[in-house]
Amino acid sequence: MPPPGHDQIQREELSRLFGQLVGARLLLVPLVLAAGAWMAWVDPTGWRRALLAAILVTVAAFFIIEYVRFRRRGGLAPGQVRINLVAAVVGQMTLTAATGGLGSPFIYVAVLLAVIVNVFVRPPVSAWLTAFQVLAVWTFAVLGATGAAPLELELLGGAARRPPPVGLGLGLHAGFLTVVLVSIAFAGRAGRKVFEAILRRALAAQQDSLRAYAERAEELTALSGEIAHELKNPLASVKGLAGLLAQGVGPGKPTERLAVLRQEVGRMQAILDGFLNFSRPLVPLVLDDCDVAALAREVAALHEGLARERGVAVEARGAAVRARCDPRKVKQILVNLVQNALDASPAGAAVELEAAPAPGGGARIRVQDRGPGLDPAVRDAAFSPGFTTKASGSGLGLTIARSLARQHGGDLVLSPRAGGGMVAELTLPATPAGAGTGAVA
């Protein structure tokens, strides 16, 4: 079984390469039209003139249409590649028949087409096209030897330029072309197999590397969770002892230092809580039909005191928006977003929470600030574990928030705000993805 992505990469690369041929063959249209028109003009045979005119107009129109289609769609589907090559082989042999059979200057175009067919098309289609080419070559040889159909062009010398016996010469010519066409078929098939084997081995190696990386990351995540869990209890003891010491110390520097100590221990506990949330699996959703606008107002009320200390306003607006979600997890997402917005906002600014129905059902909550925003070059990295622009940040808040959003089947995206700042938009679907596995409140 081929590794994931094998067939898609092969289709995309072959489609891209064939697209270049689609563009290149347009350059041949004027040459083919000129050569065919000259032959039709010089040769007096009426059926040949009519056939050449029909073939040349059809081939030119087909080339142009396929080129326009390729440019519009940015590629060709595997079925279109086969259709193109079938049309090319049939058209080339028909043109060869109309311009002299084995004596036609277009007969050796079959060799080039055989190479392209066996590179871009898998068996059995490539085998059938090669068989058609060989059959056409021997048909031309038989018709030329028996004189059953006047294929030779008088302007190219016709039968007069072939010394007797004519049948032997045509047979040798047809045999030579057969050997060449069949050899190309086998070589093309072997080359395609080599290409597929190289691609398969490269993708398998990539999958092995990704699997090893995922296993290593899982081990490190579990280890970080264990370390964080082991450190929480000692830190709680340190914080408690610092509080007891503060009660027995009068005002002055010792009290201030103990307050700083407790503050730093609290910050360390918050970082450890982030590691624990990141390392443990997401628990199933506990779904409830709730008003997300009310959740936004509740989160805004929770941060009023912190916002007032920093000279920032927190505003929540929007009519009732019902959504089926896990209110605890949605609240956790909003708390993280509002804290980030408060950290980024300058004094005198406002953090705005806006709830509204999402297009197609569900709900949408935006948390907007007037901070400096994020550089577009690092905006996508903001959700990567460990990425932070804060001096004291853990770099896990947005990672966990997006994981919770996607557990619902929604998403969390960041975008620049008009006039400066950032917009964090949480979308929740009408039917959460975890609806079938979570509990129901």
CB-CB contact of 312 with 274 (8 Å): no
26 is a domain residue = yes
CB-CB contact of 397 with 334 (8 Å): no
- Tell me: do 17 and 130 sit in the same domain: yes
260 is a domain residue = no
* Phi-psi domain of 84 (left: phi exceeds 0; alpha: psi -120 through 50; beta: other): alpha
- Tell me: do 194 and 295 sit in the same domain: no
In this structure, what token pair is assigned to residue 130?
A: 């090669």
CATH number of the structural domain spanning residue 348: 3.30.565.10
What is the pTM assigned to this prediction? Answer: 0.45
Q: How many domains does the chain have?
A: 2
- Tell me: do 48 and 177 sit in the same domain: yes
CA angle 109, 111, 116 (to 5 degrees): 95
99 is a domain residue = yes
**Which residue, 209, 231, 263, sits at the end of a domain?**
209
Q: Over the chain, what is the mean pLDDT? A: 77
**Which residue, 161, 177, 209, sits at the end of a domain?**
209
What pairs with residue 413 in β-bridges? 425
CA angle 49, 52, 57 (to 5 degrees): 125
CB-CB contact of 159 with 152 (8 Å): yes
At 149 the pLDDT is 53
- Tell me: do 292 and 395 sit in the same domain: yes
- Tell me: do 202 and 304 sit in the same domain: no
How far apart (Å, rounded) are the C-alpha atoms in residues 150 and 145? Answer: 10
Q: Give the H or E element holding residue 40.
A: helix 28-42
- Burial class of residue 264 (count of CB atoms within 10 Å of its CB; 0-12, 13-18, 19+): middle
> Nearest CA to 334 among 355, 350, 320, 318?
355
- Tell me: do 174 and 37 sit in the same domain: yes
219 is a domain residue = no
**What is the full per-residue pLDDT of the chain (441 aa) written as tens digits?**
656 665 666 666 666 666 666 666 667 667 767 766 666 666 656 666 777 777 777 777 777 777 777 777 666 665 777 887 888 888 888 878 877 778 777 888 888 888 888 877 778 888 899 999 999 999 888 887 776 555 555 444 444 444 444 567 778 888 899 999 999 888 888 887 887 788 788 878 878 887 887 777 677 666 666 666 667 667 777 777 777 777 777 677 777 787 778 777 777 777 777 666 666 656 677 888 889 999 999 999 888 888 888 899 999 988 888 888 888 889 989 988 998 899 888 999 999 999 999 887 889 999 999 988 877 766 667 777 666 666 566 667 788 888 888 888 899 999 888 888 899 999 998 777 555 444 444
- Tell me: do 294 and 402 sit in the same domain: yes
Helix axes 397-407, 253-279, angle to 10 degrees: 40
248 is a domain residue = no
In this structure, what token pair is assigned to residue 321?
A: 């928006």
- Tell me: do 401 and 305 sit in the same domain: yes
- Tell me: do 183 and 291 sit in the same domain: no
- Tell me: do 204 and 351 sit in the same domain: no
* Per-residue pLDDT tens over the stretch 235-248: 777 777 777 777 77
In this structure, what token pair is assigned to residue 275?
A: 């590691």
**Which residue, 209, 243, 261, sits at the end of a domain?**
209
263 is a domain residue = no
- Can you give the residue range of the structural domain that contains 426? 286-440
What pairs with residue 316 in β-bridges? 353
Backbone angles phi, psi at 107, to 5 degrees: -65, -35
376 is a domain residue = yes
How far apart (Å, rounded) are the C-alpha atoms in residues 231 and 181? Answer: 74
At 242 the pLDDT is 76
Q: Is the four-CA dihedral 156, 160, 166, 169 of positive or negative sign?
A: negative
264 is a domain residue = no
How far apart (Å, rounded) are the C-alpha atoms in residues 300 and 298? Answer: 5
- Tell me: do 190 and 86 sit in the same domain: yes
Please report, as a single letter, which amino acid is at residue 79.
G
- Tell me: do 180 and 303 sit in the same domain: no
Radius of gyration of the chain (CA): 37
